Amino acid sequence: MRNRCFLLALVMLFCGCALATTALAAEAASGQGRHEPAVSLKPIPLVQIGKFAVTNSMLLIWIVAAGIIAFAQIATLNIKPIPSGIQNFWEWMVEGLYNFLEAIIGRELVRKTFWFFATIFIFILFVNWFGLIPGVGTIGWGHYDPNTGVFHIDRPLLRGGNADLNMTTAMAAIFFVLWLVWAIQAQGVGGFLKHLFAPKGETTGVLRVLMAVIFFMVGWLEVVSILFRPISLSFRLFGNIYAGESILEAMSTMVPLWLAWLPPIPFYFMEILVGVVQALVFMLLTAVFTMLIAQHDHGPDQAPV
């Protein structure tokens, strides 16, 4: 059952991210066909139908999402009491993530939110790794430079999904909406406002009035902090992945063409590790943000803040 819910969550997240990315990607049409020496900041539209633009980063995201969905379906097609093969790998990964999150945010909260946190980790991880496959960013349409004898790629067919700010913004926006839903479910509207603006601690008299004013002002700072969370989440993931791709591109152009494959090798293995770390950081930050608003106290099944 947990695997089926996880698969449904992946489909929901994939559809939501694709729709949000489509709306943001229309701006990239102005840069179509423009040659840039390094990794471009904007994705390149491959198909433009009115305001709907399918970019090279969206194509990679769809391929990865379809691959994960197909893998999950195959792994859970004939579930055996004693797992083996890909079922064993899938259950190991899902169970490992569940136990890891349960130790951090508590048993009650992980039951409600695991579908999102596990999905976002696996999705980001494989998007990061898929972007490192040779050919991503180097196969596509371009032009031949007769002066250097080099074929320059102007419109790559595929681009790293999380090196596109549209994609990371879409995932952060989806989390922000879910965070509001979980916060109101846990605290109620009144409890949510009280959590932000109400004074903490036991005070009386003039001190109580003073603390109420201070906490009310601090509450607005908390509101600003909450509103900036999606921005920080999206730019952190985008910045690290985009910087990694830019480093690989720069390393390959520092030497003669016949040696271009050699300098990026150590950075390539570093980016494999960065892909894991960034997926873990995104998942943990979203989980901790949810825990801070959704937990009332530290019961026996809850981890302390």
Ramachandran angles phi, psi of 278, nearest 5°: -70, -35
Position 76, amino acid: T
Query: What pTM did the predictor assign?
Result: 0.81
Q: Where in the sequence is the domain holding 43, given as residue range(s)? A: 2-294
117 found inside a domain: yes
299 found inside a domain: no
Counting the structural domains of the chain, the total is 1
Contacts of residue 130, defined as CB under 8 A and 6 or more positions apart, other chains included, come to 60, 63, 64, 136, 161
303 found inside a domain: no
Residues in the chain, overall count: 305
237 found inside a domain: yes
Q: pLDDT 10s per residue in the chain (305 long)?
A: 555 555 555 555 555 554 444 444 444 444 443 444 467 888 888 888 888 888 999 999 999 999 999 999 999 888 888 888 888 999 999 999 999 999 999 999 999 999 999 999 999 999 999 999 888 888 888 877 777 667 777 888 898 899 999 999 999 999 999 999 999 998 888 888 888 888 776 766 677 778 888 888 888 888 999 999 999 999 999 999 999 888 888 887 777 777 777 888 888 899 999 999 999 999 999 999 999 888 754 444 444 43
